[in-house]
């Protein structure tokens, strides 16, 4: 660690002393940099998106607002679990992250955090998250939390991601798990509505992630990762985007009869129609050989999911 210390400086008579940056300031800056690096390992944006689905699922399970204590526990435990999964993912993927422009600035390939420290950090977060859920919710919620971490890091990151073009499909279970965890934390069981919401998030991940993989196709190819856009034709990729966009919307509408009102159904129908139209527009541009703008669908997909689960929360409250 480099330190900048105050040292004598020659000066003309009558001039005030010239001071260099002092050691405490540099130390504070170094601490902030280290903290920022560890936070970056947890991929905060992914954590935020997962929590968007968790709280509405809890509200629907409770038929209103669950206790604030339970919500706080699940939010903290879920954030730690998602962060743990992301940190361990960064540890496992450190070899390919350094090959991809999108990920080479992450803390491990940038050497701002050592692999050993990242591994310890991820394991500690995982243990604390599962222990917190077990102590303050129930064993089903804790078991689902542990299963989601193990599945994401062992089954998806270590195996599926590097070996099959269906990696995004099978990895979708991890992203949808918070719905089940939130529901289980409230009721200690899983109802059909919980599985229906799980299916919404599960199917949603293909039209959400494939556009991102299209944009960074060269990155994945350089790292030897068989994402669908790397190994399949653009027509095939966009056909799957359209199919899964339809499955997402149809599944979201299937939730409507499971105790939901038009407060949920009507907004879901409207944003679902826009979601499907955007998926068809992307496919149309590809089929016509026009300039492809996949990130438009990527960003809209996030808006779509947020609105759907906001409708779930509003329906549960009213």
Confidence of residue 21 (pLDDT cuts 50, 70, 90): low
Q: Is the pLDDT of residue 26 over 90?
A: no
To the nearest 10 degrees (0 to 180), the angle between helices 192-215 and 262-287 is: 30
- Residue 9 near residue 18 (C-beta atoms within 8 A): yes
**Residue given tokens 């653009």 in the structure block:** 234
What is the percent of the chain with per-residue pLDDT over 70, rounded to a whole number? 91
Q: State mean pLDDT over 101-126.
A: 94
Secondary element (H or E) of residue 196: helix 192-215
Q: What is the pLDDT of residues 127-167, one digit of tens each?
A: 999 999 999 999 999 999 999 999 999 999 999 999 999 99
> In this predicted structure, what is the pLDDT of residue 1?
39
3-state helix, strand, coil in the chain (%, to 5): 75, 0, 25
Q: Which is more confidently placed, 69 or 2? A: 69
> In this predicted structure, what is the pLDDT of residue 32?
86
- State the average pLDDT for the chain: 91
Copy the structure tokens of residue 317: 């409250």
CA geometry: angle 273, 277, 283, nearest 5 deg: 150
Q: Which is more confidently placed, 18 or 282? A: 282
Using a 10 angstrom Cβ sphere, with 0-12 exposed, 13-18 middle and 19 or more buried, the burial of residue 168 is buried
* Residue 278, CA atoms < 13 Å, CB-side half-sphere: 23
Q: Is the pLDDT of residue 24 over 70?
A: no
Q: Is the pLDDT of residue 19 over 70?
A: no
Q: What is the DSSP letter of 184?
A: H
What phi and psi, each to the nearest 5 degrees, are found at residue 173? -60, -30
Confidence of residue 294 (pLDDT cuts 50, 70, 90): very high
Count of residues in the chain? 318
Q: Which is more confidently placed, 318 or 121? A: 121
Q: Which is more confidently placed, 49 or 34? A: 34
Copy the structure tokens of residue 143: 């078991």
- Residue 275 near residue 304 (C-beta atoms within 8 A): yes
CA geometry: angle 306, 310, 316, nearest 5 deg: 150
> In this predicted structure, what is the pLDDT of residue 48?
78
Torsion sign, CA atoms 27, 107, 170, 248: positive
Q: What is the pLDDT of residues 59-68, one digit of tens each?
A: 999 999 999 9
Helix (H, G, I), strand (E, B) or coil at 313: helix
> In this predicted structure, what is the pLDDT of residue 6?
40
Q: Is the pLDDT of residue 98 over 60?
A: yes
Q: State mean pLDDT over 104-109.
A: 93
Confidence of residue 267 (pLDDT cuts 50, 70, 90): very high
Q: Is the pLDDT of residue 9 over 70?
A: no
> In this predicted structure, what is the pLDDT of residue 23?
63
Copy the structure tokens of residue 96: 């390919």
Confidence of residue 189 (pLDDT cuts 50, 70, 90): very high
């Amino acid at each position: 660690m480099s330190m900048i210390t105050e040292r004598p400086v020659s000066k003309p008579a009558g001039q005030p002393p010239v001071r260099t940056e002092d050691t405490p300031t540099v130390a504070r800056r170094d601490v902030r940099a280290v903290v920022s690096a560890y936070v970056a390992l947890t991929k905060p944006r992914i954590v935020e998106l997962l929590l968007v689905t968790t709280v509405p699922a809890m509200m629907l399970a409770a038929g209103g607002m669950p206790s604030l204590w339970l919500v706080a526990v699940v939010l903290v435990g879920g954030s730690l679990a998602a962060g743990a999964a992301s940190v361990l993912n960064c540890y496992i993927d450190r070899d390919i992250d350094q090959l991809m422009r999108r990920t080479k600035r992450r803390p491990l390939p940038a050497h701002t955090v050592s692999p050993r420290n990242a591994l310890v950090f991820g394991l500690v977060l995982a243990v604390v998250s599962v222990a917190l859920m077990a102590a303050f919710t129930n064993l089903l919620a804790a078991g689902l939390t542990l299963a989601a971490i193990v599945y994401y890091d062992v089954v998806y990151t270590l195996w599926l991601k590097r070996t099959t073009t269906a990696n995004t499909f099978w990895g979708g279970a991890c992203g949808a798990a918070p719905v089940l965890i939130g529901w289980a934390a409230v009721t200690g069981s899983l109802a059909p509505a919980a599985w229906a919401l799980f299916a919404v998030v599960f199917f949603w991940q293909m039209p959400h992630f494939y556009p991102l993989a299209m944009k960074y196709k060269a990155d994945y190819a350089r790292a030897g990762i068989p994402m669908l856009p790397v190994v399949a034709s653009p027509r095939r990729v966009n056909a799957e985007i359209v199919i899964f966009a339809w499955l997402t919307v149809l599944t979201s509408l299937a939730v409507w009869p499971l105790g939901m009102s038009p407060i949920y159904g009507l907004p879901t129908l409207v944003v679902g129609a826009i979601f499907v139209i955007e998926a068809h527009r992307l496919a149309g541009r590809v089929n016509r050989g026009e300039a492809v703008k996949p990130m438009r669908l990527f960003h809209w997909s996030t808006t779509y999911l947020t609105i759907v689960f906001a409708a779930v929360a509003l329906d549960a409250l009213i």
